[in-house]
Amino acid sequence: MNISIDEAKIVASKLNYRHERGTVIAVLQDAETKEVLMVGNMDKEALILTLTTGLVHLWSLSRERIWLKGETSGHYQVVQDFKVDCDEDAVLLLVKSQGPVCHTGNHTCFYRNSKFFLEHK
């Protein structure tokens, strides 16, 4: 999925960038299985890049820059669909993943449950 720059700017202008460093929350979900893969942040520029290229771009809070998800690993996240929450401060990106999403090598960043933390306290 990708849209024109003009359409992307219209969508981006309607969001409420109220989270840390002027971002919206970005939830990546597998388009087929609906499994939540990761949560990140997007500023307006990252959102526009995502919508126009069809590849997920995020705002890195630690590096203070936009980054293309998969730029070092090659595990790009291809956007299949895009939704905005009711408060317009979070987006849901349904993606087709081209490899593990988590920097640990796991398919999803949500691979640990409460039992893990109880066993490793």
| Binding region for Mg(2+) | 85, 87, 89
Annotated binding site for Zn(2+): 86, 102, 109
In the structure encoding, which two tokens stand for residue 24, read together? 């919206």
Find out whether 21 and 44 touch, Cβ atoms under 8 Å: no
Amino acid identity, position 95: V
Cα 39 from Cα 80, distance rounded (Å)? 17
Q: For residue 53, which of 65, 38, 70 has the smallest C-alpha distance?
A: 70
CA-to-CA separations, 20 to 28, 41, 46, 57, 109, in angstroms, rounded: 18, 8, 14, 17, 20
Annotated binding site: 85-87, 89, 102, 109
